[in-house]
Amino acid sequence: MEDNNPPTPTKPRVVICVGDIHGYIEKLQNLWSNLQSCIEPSDFETALNIFLGDYCDRGPNTSKVALIIFLGDYCDRGPNTSKVLDFFIDLPSKYPKQSHVFLCGNHDFAFAAFLGVLPSLPDGTEFCGTWKEYEMNEEREGWYKGKGFENMHLQGRRWAGNHSVKFNAVKGIDYKGSIYDDAPTFESYGVPHGSAASCRGKAKYNTPLWRDPSPYPAHSRSLVDRVAPF
């Protein structure tokens, strides 16, 4: 028997994956502009944007037609980490009809660890308990030993460290500070590399975006939202 009411064709979903912004604000802005040009305006305005670490969104908004997935690692290497985080923080006010989910990559996790805004470990272990397995690398990687290091997560100490080997033979370029190439992130906030107190005091916004509002009040909640799933 012929079906006189065939199902309405489902509009194909546009899925775009973007990884490793790494502090390059101009490239991010150019990319965003290109997405606006390539995606149908009505789809772009209501897109679900997933700023993703290591896994895909399983939330209630996956029926959105346009799906823009950012794969984490917003900080380090490039010169404008602060502006990159500003860009993402400003998205909800600039695109109120879009949905945004902010998660993180390993660089973002390590940055948050240095700032002291990671949630407690599920098993109750102190953060200093994460050092032991990798302590043979401490001298070579020049782990951070400044203010607040005593109970800092391993990745925070590695992130803010000063690598004793200046040349990265794997990539054929010099390290930028630590194994995470974090020096440009400090520079983007206008503070010296590895400077905990002055670095944590720099902020452009009054609204606290981290669980601990004292360090980087503008960006801390932003990173907390990203690291929460880890």
The catalytic residues are 107
Name the residue type at position 111: F
CA distance 38 to 189: 33
Q: Give bridge partners of residue 14 from the DSSP assignment.
A: 66
CA distance 11 to 3: 21
CA distance 87 to 28: 9
Phi, psi for 174 (deg, rounded to 5): -75, 145
User: What ranges make up the beta strands (E) of the chain?
Assistant: 14-18, 48-51, 66-70, 99-102, 167-168, 173-174
CA distance 220 to 203: 10
